[in-house]
Chain A
Amino acid sequence: MVLSVVQTPEEISSSAISSVFASRYVQDPLPRYRMPENTIPKEVAYQIIHDELQLDGNPRLNLASFVTTWMEPECDKLMIESMNKNYVDMDEYPITTELQNRCVNIIANLLNAPLASNKQAIGVGTVGSSEAIMLAGLAFKKKWQNKRRAEGKPFDKPNIVTGANVQVCWEKFARYFEVELKEVKLSEGYYVMDPKKAVEMVDENTICVAAILGSTLTGEFEDVKLLNDLLAEKNKRTGWDTPIHVDAASGGFVAPFIYPELEWDFRLPLVKSINVSGHKYGLVYAGIGWVIWRSNEDLPEELVFHINYLGTDQPTFTLNFSKGSSQIVAQYYQFLRMGFEGYKRVIRNCMENAKLLVDGLKQTGRFDIISKERGLPLVAFGFKDTNKSLAFELSKALRHHGWIVPAYTMPANVEHMAVLRVVVREDLGRQLVEKLVSHINGALLELDETTDAVPKISFTVEVKSSDEDQHHESRHDHEGSLHLPTTSIHWKQDKHDRIQKKVHISGGKTNGVC
């Protein structure tokens, strides 16, 4: 099909015979800075890249990430079949667009959006929660600017109130879209945003208050209901009408299934938009998120672009334009395949396995469990011992077994704590959890037995010339004297520094903990 002339005839015959590892291709260094001049056979290209990628971590043992790492083969098949469809060609791929619309409706209903039955919900599929949050933030910013302009007040200093435990994408939104980020600092034992303090920080320039359902650090759900009540009171007094956005990136697909009575979504009147990651507990591979708005009024019309789609109007509001369709198809597949009961069972299994891990850790007697029982299926734990470096060392020791368990310091104002976090995803079964516990026990033994590294003794040698030399000159050519300089030797034993790979989540929120 492809009419490319990519190989001259002689090369074809020889490369067909010689196996990849027998050929000269595995001897040449891989190009790093410049595109290579010549073409190479496809099998060789595949093998070379495949081999290099073996040195990447194993995604399924990556306990740092919420993002899905396993899907059924049927779904893989669907994904590869739609990989060559550019999602944005709505005209050409109307069914794929229809699937996105259905997913939006399904999620909006899951989040109790106030929709008349069979009415189209307002929402969009994105490439992850970062884009979703930027869109939601943009909508709030525009709405607030329009309101202030109509009131004749200044609108150049918008700000947003969140907890210090927010994920880095909020910081990105703030920096790129020129909104000030007002963070509610954490306190010892309380690792999420305090609604009272948050409401105190709200001022006339606040475009919204962002609550997190499923904090990145400890998996807790923030008390959105309390926030809603306090903010409603404040709004009545001040008349500012500050709305709430719920960042349910992780929690959006957990709470509706196992805590359906928890009021955090559109049932609360001040919640105007919610974002959720399809690639976390939505059980799809990386690359899909969703943002839903309560109603038409919450999405300013000037931000929406209208595309002619099958003769009808398809409004779109995204930052990315061309992107693959695979993940959207996969999300719909998951909704259809699993249904409500399927998702409920998966999340329940995850919670069970998380509890199993918690029990195993408690049994060692060395850990404090920081994550709460009510929240995401993750386990955040720290050493009872206040030595911060222990957490990092345990993380390093577990790497030897192949587990990737991140360790990090908490943000302001609890930077003295270091925690390890294990995310229990769908594919972390009971057997693996038990293995993990036994490896942790083994690693603890290793840590305890670690002898100090070879002590370092440093010697300083001082060479001083004797005093006489300085004032003495030789008077005759055939006579002189040679004085040996006096020397002294000092030594001291240095304590070696332990090398730590620190992953800070403080100040500029620069780390990719997601």
Chain B
Amino acid sequence: MVITAAVTDSKEQLYYTFASRYVRAPLPRFKMPENSMPKEAAYQIVNDELMLDGNPRLNLASFVTTWMEPECDKLMMDSINKNYVDMDEYPVTTELQNRCVNMIAHLFNAPVGDDETAIGVGTVGSSEAIMLAGLAFKRKWQAKRKAEGKPYDKPNIVTGANVQVCWEKFARYFEVELKEVKLKEGYYVMDPKEAVEMVDENTICVAAILGSTLTGEFENVKLLNELLTEKNKETGWNTPIHVDAASGGFIAPFLFPDLEWDFRLPLVKSINVSGHKYGLVYAGVGWVVWRSKEDLPEELVFHINYLGSDQPTFTLNFSKGSSQIIAQYYQFIRLGYEGYRNIMVNCMENAKVLKEGLEKTGRFDIVSKDVGVPLVAFSLKDSSRYTVFQVAECLRRFGWIVPAYTMPANAERIAVLRVVIREDFNFSLAERLVSDIEKVLKELDALPPRVSTKIDHKELEALPPRVSTKIDHVTAVANETEGIKPDNHHLREIASYWRRISNKKASGVC
């Protein structure tokens, strides 16, 4: 079918890949190679390089799904060559997206009539979803202010300091100021009271998180709704709420159906959820749903002629693959409500097993709460001899990828390790992780005391450029050892750990 004449020397085909010259040549890094190579060789070479990537299933840092049933894989591969945006050509795929939107809207108790279509769209992840929701709020607020004759050039958004980096991106790219409610030790989510105090006339919305990235907690959206309603009555500003339910959106409806956080609260105008987290689909699909037509300004919506009828669309990306949308629909009908609930119950049970195992060691404080996303965040009771960063490093040797990071302002003193329990993390893996952590602790206990020192800005600037960068707030490492000046290498190590976590929301903690 493809009339590509790519192999010049027919004898090459007889060659065994590892006997051929292809495995001797260096791989192209900067320029496209002049000649083609046989497809088997190309496949083998790329495959072999990728072996050095981490194992996705042992990646306990990520919420994103890493396992799906083979039937679903088959469906995904079959539709990988369909460009989703060709709605005219692939009407059924578009229909599947619409159905998913409706199902999610109903899951969130959107005030939609039984046969009405919900207002929402599939995106490539929660980042795009949040940008779309934010754009809608910004436009609505601008229109309101223009009508009132007031200035509309300084919009801001109120969130907690625990927001994921995509809110920062939204703020920077769409020129909205981000007003963050600082955290406190022991309280790692946004405080509704402080948030409502920060609301002013330029606030386009207040963003609450259901399933904080750092500790998995659910913010108290109901309280936020009540306090904000009161304030709105006083001021008349009508500030709405957006719920970032990227992780929690597929947990709360199944495990905590009585928790009021969704459209049941009147001020919640839009919700985003990641299909690729607890929606149980591979990376690349998110959803955003609006309460009603009024919450999505018409000027943002593009109308595409679709089967003779109008298909309104509102996305940042245009061409993209259809696989994940089809996979999402597959999961909805394959699992159904009971399937999702069973999976979430299993995750919570396994999280409990892990939590109890960690508590039994007596060396950890559990920072995550019981009501929340199935993850376990824990810190060392005693960080004087070694930190969680070293624990994380050692666990890598066993194959586990467990991230460690410090909490954002104002709780930077606390550093935690976080294990996300996904669908494919079963009981035996949980037990094995606990035993590996115990092994690591024993190792670290046996090490001599850590050489540490106070690091100040001047010393960091003296370090080679690879390490010293604009670090805003590097705090001192606890405990000094007198008279011992650490060598450069150690300084570099410590500095790079701190840099990783103290830079403004730069880490890919998602």
State the A residues within 8 Å of B (CB): 1-6, 30-40, 42-43, 45-46, 48-50, 52-53, 55-57, 59-60, 62, 64-65, 67-72, 74-96, 99, 102, 105-106, 109-110, 117-118, 127-131, 134, 138, 156, 168-169, 171-172, 175-177, 277, 279, 285-287, 302-303, 305-308, 311-313, 319-327, 329, 332-333, 335-343, 345-346, 349, 404, 406, 426-427, 429-430, 501-504, 508, 510-512, 514
Least CB distance, A260 to chain B, in whole angstroms: 13
For A87, A168, A286, the residue with the greatest tally of chain B CB atoms inside 10 Å of its CB is: A286
Asked if residues A338 and B6 are in contact (CB atoms below 8 Å), the reply is yes
Chain A residue, CB-CB nearest to B401 = A92
Asked if residues A323 and B37 are in contact (CB atoms below 8 Å), the reply is no
Asked if residues A323 and B3 are in contact (CB atoms below 8 Å), the reply is no
CB < 8 Å neighbour of B3 from A67, A176, A349: A349
20 additional contacts (CB under 8 A) given A35-B106, A340-B35: A37-B337, A39-B336, A40-B334, A40-B336, A56-B93, A62-B86, A85-B283, A106-B31, A109-B31, A129-B319, A130-B318, A176-B316, A286-B83, A306-B469, A306-B503, A307-B507, A321-B165, A321-B169, A404-B89, A510-B302
Q: What are the residues of chain B within 8 A of A429 when measuring CB–CB? A: 1-3
CB < 8 Å neighbour of A172 from B33, B302, B469: B302
Please judge, given known A-B contacts A84-B282, A286-B83, whether A102 and B28 are in contact too, CB under 8 Å. yes
Please judge, given known A-B contacts A88-B510, A95-B49, whether A176 and B300 are in contact too, CB under 8 Å. yes
Q: What are the residues of chain A within 8 A of B6 when measuring CB–CB? A: 337-338, 341-342, 345
Asked if residues B42 and A333 are in contact (CB atoms below 8 Å), the reply is yes
Inter-chain CA distance A162–B218, complex, in Å, is 47
Asked if residues B103 and A4 are in contact (CB atoms below 8 Å), the reply is no
CB-CB contacts of B6-31 with A at 8 A, as 1s and 0s? 10000000000000000000011111
CB < 8 Å neighbour of B334 from A39, A68, A508: A39
Asked if residues A426 and B2 are in contact (CB atoms below 8 Å), the reply is yes
Q: What are the residues of chain A within 8 A of B324 when measuring CB–CB? A: 324
B198 touches A (CB below 8 Å): no
Asked if residues B304 and A512 are in contact (CB atoms below 8 Å), the reply is yes
Inter-chain CA distance A502–B50, complex, in Å, is 47
Please judge, given known A-B contacts A74-B39, A75-B43, A320-B124, whether A50 and B78 are in contact too, CB under 8 Å. yes
Q: What are the residues of chain A within 8 A of B303 when measuring CB–CB? A: 508, 510
CB-CB contacts of B34-50 with A at 8 A, as 1s and 0s? 11110110110111011
Asked if residues A339 and B37 are in contact (CB atoms below 8 Å), the reply is yes
Inter-chain CA distance A168–B135, complex, in Å, is 18
Chain B residue, CB-CB nearest to A55 = B92
Q: What are the residues of chain A within 8 A of B169 when measuring CB–CB? A: 305, 319, 321
CB-CB contacts of B66-101 with A at 8 A, as 1s and 0s? 111101111111111111111111111100100100
Asked if residues B74 and A46 are in contact (CB atoms below 8 Å), the reply is yes
Asked if residues A322 and B4 are in contact (CB atoms below 8 Å), the reply is no
Q: What are the residues of chain A within 8 A of B34 when measuring CB–CB? A: 339-341
Please judge, given known A-B contacts A92-B62, A335-B28, whether A53 and B338 are in contact too, CB under 8 Å. no
B266 touches A (CB below 8 Å): no
Least CB distance, A105 to chain B, in whole angstroms: 5
Asked if residues B173 and A303 are in contact (CB atoms below 8 Å), the reply is yes
Chain A residue, CB-CB nearest to B253 = A35
Inter-chain CA distance A496–B33, complex, in Å, is 61
Least CB distance, A285 to chain B, in whole angstroms: 5
Chain A residue, CB-CB nearest to B342 = A5
Asked if residues B103 and A33 are in contact (CB atoms below 8 Å), the reply is yes
Q: What are the residues of chain B within 8 A of A175 when measuring CB–CB? A: 299-300
Q: What are the residues of chain A within 8 A of B87 when measuring CB–CB? A: 512
Q: What size tier do the contact residues of chain B reach?
A: 35 or more
Asked if residues B64 and A336 are in contact (CB atoms below 8 Å), the reply is no
B332 touches A (CB below 8 Å): yes
For the complex of A and B, list the 5 residue pairs with the smallest distance between their C-beta atoms, beginning with the closest: A337-B42, A45-B334, A308-B500, A74-B43, A46-B71
Asked if residues B33 and A76 are in contact (CB atoms below 8 Å), the reply is no
Asked if residues A277 and B338 are in contact (CB atoms below 8 Å), the reply is no
Least CB distance, B502 to chain A, in whole angstroms: 10
Inter-chain CA distance A443–B311, complex, in Å, is 29
Asked if residues A323 and B283 are in contact (CB atoms below 8 Å), the reply is yes
Chain B residue, CB-CB nearest to A83 = B282
Inter-chain CA distance A426–B96, complex, in Å, is 29
Inter-chain CA distance A214–B115, complex, in Å, is 44
Asked if residues B73 and A69 are in contact (CB atoms below 8 Å), the reply is no
Please judge, given known A-B contacts A1-B67, A49-B333, A109-B31, whether A337 and B36 are in contact too, CB under 8 Å. yes
For B56, B61, B510, the residue with the greatest tally of chain A CB atoms inside 10 Å of its CB is: B56
Q: What are the residues of chain B within 8 A of A503 when measuring CB–CB? A: 305
Asked if residues A319 and B128 are in contact (CB atoms below 8 Å), the reply is yes
CB < 8 Å neighbour of B317 from A49, A106, A131: A131
Inter-chain CA distance A341–B166, complex, in Å, is 41
Least CB distance, B302 to chain A, in whole angstroms: 5
Q: What are the residues of chain A within 8 A of B339 when measuring CB–CB? A: 4, 6, 38-39
Chain A residue, CB-CB nearest to B82 = A59
B5 touches A (CB below 8 Å): yes
Q: What are the residues of chain B within 8 A of A88 when measuring CB–CB? A: 508, 510
B186 touches A (CB below 8 Å): no
Contact segment of B380-388, B409-417, B420-428, B454-462: B420-428
Please judge, given known A-B contacts A2-B423, A106-B30, whether A177 and B36 are in contact too, CB under 8 Å. no
Inter-chain CA distance A88–B165, complex, in Å, is 12
Please judge, given known A-B contacts A45-B71, A430-B3, whether A336 and B50 are in contact too, CB under 8 Å. no
B346 touches A (CB below 8 Å): yes
Asked if residues B50 and A82 are in contact (CB atoms below 8 Å), the reply is yes
Chain A residue, CB-CB nearest to B331 = A45
CB-CB contacts of B221-256 with A at 8 A, as 1s and 0s? 000000000000000000000000000000000000
Instruction: Please name 17 pairs of A and B residues whose Cβ atoms are closer than 8 Å in the assembled complex, sorted by A.
Output: A1-B426, A33-B99, A35-B332, A59-B81, A64-B89, A72-B2, A74-B40, A83-B73, A86-B276, A95-B49, A118-B30, A320-B124, A322-B276, A324-B283, A340-B32, A349-B3, A512-B85
Asked if residues A105 and B30 are in contact (CB atoms below 8 Å), the reply is yes
Asked if residues A2 and B71 are in contact (CB atoms below 8 Å), the reply is no
CB < 8 Å neighbour of A36 from B74, B336, B499: B336
Inter-chain CA distance A337–B44, complex, in Å, is 11
Least CB distance, B494 to chain A, in whole angstroms: 12
Inter-chain CA distance A84–B342, complex, in Å, is 22
B394 touches A (CB below 8 Å): no
Q: What are the residues of chain B within 8 A of A502 when measuring CB–CB? A: 305
Asked if residues A303 and B172 are in contact (CB atoms below 8 Å), the reply is yes
Asked if residues B3 and A308 are in contact (CB atoms below 8 Å), the reply is no
Asked if residues A1 and B424 are in contact (CB atoms below 8 Å), the reply is yes
B114 touches A (CB below 8 Å): yes
Inter-chain CA distance A340–B333, complex, in Å, is 45
CB contacts under 8 Å to A, within B328-357, are 329-330, 332-340, 342-343, 346, 350
CB-CB contacts of B110-144 with A at 8 A, as 1s and 0s? 00001100000000111110010001000000000
Q: What are the residues of chain B within 8 A of A127 when measuring CB–CB? A: 124, 317, 320
Inter-chain CA distance A88–B61, complex, in Å, is 12
Please judge, given known A-B contacts A86-B62, A92-B401, A322-B510, whether A80 and B73 are in contact too, CB under 8 Å. yes
Asked if residues A84 and B65 are in contact (CB atoms below 8 Å), the reply is yes
B220 touches A (CB below 8 Å): no
Asked if residues B35 and A86 are in contact (CB atoms below 8 Å), the reply is no
Asked if residues B81 and A336 are in contact (CB atoms below 8 Å), the reply is no
Asked if residues B333 and A4 are in contact (CB atoms below 8 Å), the reply is no
For B62, B83, B332, the residue with the greatest tally of chain A CB atoms inside 10 Å of its CB is: B83
